[in-house]
Amino acid sequence: MIARIAWKNIWFKPLNTLLSIILLTASVAIITLLILLEEQFEKQFDSNIDNIDLVLGAQGSPLQLILSAVYQVDAPTGNIDYTEAKTWMKHRFVQTAIPLAFGDNYKGFRIVGTTPNYLTVYGKGIKEGMPFSKNFDVVIGSAIAAKMNLKIGDTFFGSHGDAAEGELHENHAYTVTGIAATTGKVADNLILCNIQSVWAMHDEEGHEHAEGEAQNHEHEHDEEAITEDGKEITAVLIKFRSKMGIVMWPRLIAQNTKMQAASPAIEINRLFSLFGIGLQALQYLSYGIMFISGISIFIALYNTLKERKYEFALLRVNGASRLQLLWLVLIESMLLCITGFIFGTVVGRIGLSLISGSSESEFKMSFNPLEFVWQKEGYLFGLTIFVGILAAVIPAVKAYSLNISKTLANA
């Protein structure tokens, strides 16, 4: 009954209540969003660097190399010589070395030349159909199959570069031979083919463009006969047999070649510490909002106390104990906080699903709004309740220590 009176009371002043709830909702929503983002972001980033100890690529920004080769979100740093890379790929430290060659995309999805090993090491194999064996055979990620409605046997033309608006390669169509199993990682949004397909596509293009100037260029029609000499790839993903490689290679590569070896773990840590500042600023902001909502609850309770002291005196006259009045005020504050918390967690998750929509199209990264990070969200709930108690403590004590005789006599 006390709770019922409290409930009726908070809705008796709907505007005050609404203000308090909106403020609480905003702060809880932002913090929830941050908690979920941080958690899932790190998980996603970490899951994608499983089995990658180092990335071998052209010199330039190591972070860029990692972002482009591992996460497929940035432009590559440049190309490396395949023959040179191969000598390192056969190094005795190396357990697996998977070459990547970028060049084209289909409607914004990258077409990556690699070996069928990519799917076994970084994916979960093939769900339907066969791995690519011939030039221009492709295996598409499960997310692409679903979004582009592609089936085995379908064909499509790629466009040059990273942008969907790139020049169309109309000479050769790719044929879908397989669909990769869903992994929840970047592989779901990639189109995989063999490296020769990437070379073949661009050799011919290059030839046609150069036809006018170089008449004696030898036209290579036989797809199978593309030599590896002088050909370039974009990067190599390396997993070592011996962890010595992680320590030694970056310097070895830098001293002996024109390439660089970048560690995804280190680069991602660096990226997180950069993000960290922004996330922290947002977190402080939301704690600030929570503080303000605490003050707003306090002011609302304190202000109405003046009008309500007769009401409290009356409850005492009718047999309510002082403790019941204390509860009444506390419960009112708690109700606001709990309502705000519930709305906040829901709004935060709606926000996350909106972010997930745009991040998936831009960064091939999606978030799950239905995940619960129990521990951190539990702390957040505790904090919300604490704010509620803190805001109510002075008004509640005032209600508790009300002098009923004086209150009623001065009426």
Partner 1 sequence: MIVTKNLSFSYGKNAFFSFPDVAVSSGSSLLITGGSGKGKTTLLHLLGGLLRPQEGEVFIDHTNIASLSEKKLDHYRGQHIGLVLQQAYFVASLNVLENVVLASWLTTGKKAKEKALQLLQQLGLQDHLQKQPSQLSIGQQQRVSIARALINEPKLLLADEPTSSLDDENAHRVAGMLAQLAKQYGTALVIVTHDQRLKDTFLNQISL
> Which one, of 235, 211, 200, 226, lies nearest residue 58 by Cα?
235
| Integer Cα distance of 171 and 43 in angstroms | 41
Residue 265 or 320: which CB sits closer to partner 1?
320
Helices marked H in 318-373 — which ranges?
Answer: 322-363
Among 3, 12, 155, 350, binds partner 1 (CB under 8 A): 12
Give the shortest CB-323-to-partner 1 separation in angstroms. 8
Residue 242 or 321: which CB sits closer to partner 1?
321
Site string for partner 1, 298-317 (x = CB under 8 A): ----------x-xx-xxxxx
> 3-state class of 108 per DSSP?
coil
- Hey, how many other C-beta atoms are within 10 angstroms of the C-beta on 263? 19
Does position 11 bind partner 1 by CB under 8 A? yes
- Contact segment (CB under 8 A) with partner 1 among 3-11, 129-137, 157-165, 387-395 equals 3-11
Query: Which H/E stretch holds residue 216?
Result: none
Query: Is 370 buried (19+), middle (13-18) or exposed (0-12) by CB count in 10 A?
Result: exposed
Residue 14 or 378: which CB sits closer to partner 1?
14
Token code pair at residue 293: 């909502």
Does position 409 bind partner 1 by CB under 8 A? yes
Residue 375 or 410: which CB sits closer to partner 1?
410
Residue 255 or 410: which CB sits closer to partner 1?
410
Among 59, 61, 120, 324, binds partner 1 (CB under 8 A): 324
| Residues contacting residue 370 through CB under 8 Å, at least 6 positions apart | 349
- Contact segment (CB under 8 A) with partner 1 among 169-177, 224-232, 319-327, 341-349 equals 319-327
Residue 201 or 313: which CB sits closer to partner 1?
313
Give the shortest CB-392-to-partner 1 separation in angstroms. 17
Give the shortest CB-332-to-partner 1 separation in angstroms. 11
**Residues from 351 through 390 that contact partner 1 (CB under 8 A):** none
Give the shortest CB-11-to-partner 1 separation in angstroms. 7
| Residues contacting residue 202 through CB under 8 Å, at least 6 positions apart | 103
- Contact segment (CB under 8 A) with partner 1 among 125-133, 260-268, 321-329, 363-371 equals 321-329
Residue 12 or 284: which CB sits closer to partner 1?
12
Residue 370 or 409: which CB sits closer to partner 1?
409
- Hey, how many other C-beta atoms are within 10 angstroms of the C-beta on 101? 24
Residue 272 or 310: which CB sits closer to partner 1?
310
Does position 19 bind partner 1 by CB under 8 A? no
| Integer Cα distance of 225 and 221 in angstroms | 9
| Integer Cα distance of 98 and 116 in angstroms | 9
> Which one, of 132, 107, 130, 127, lies nearest residue 182 by Cα?
127
Q: Is 261 left (phi over 0), alpha (psi -120 to 50) or beta?
A: beta
- Contact segment (CB under 8 A) with partner 1 among 26-34, 62-70, 233-241, 322-330 equals 322-330
Does position 8 bind partner 1 by CB under 8 A? yes
Q: What ranges make up the beta strands (E) of 197-337?
A: 232-233, 235-240, 259-262
Q: What ranges make up the beta strands (E) of 141-269?
A: 155-156, 159-160, 174-180, 191-194, 232-233, 235-240, 259-262
**Which residues contact partner 1 by CB under 8 A?**
1, 5, 8-9, 11-12, 308, 310-311, 313-324, 404-405, 408-409, 411
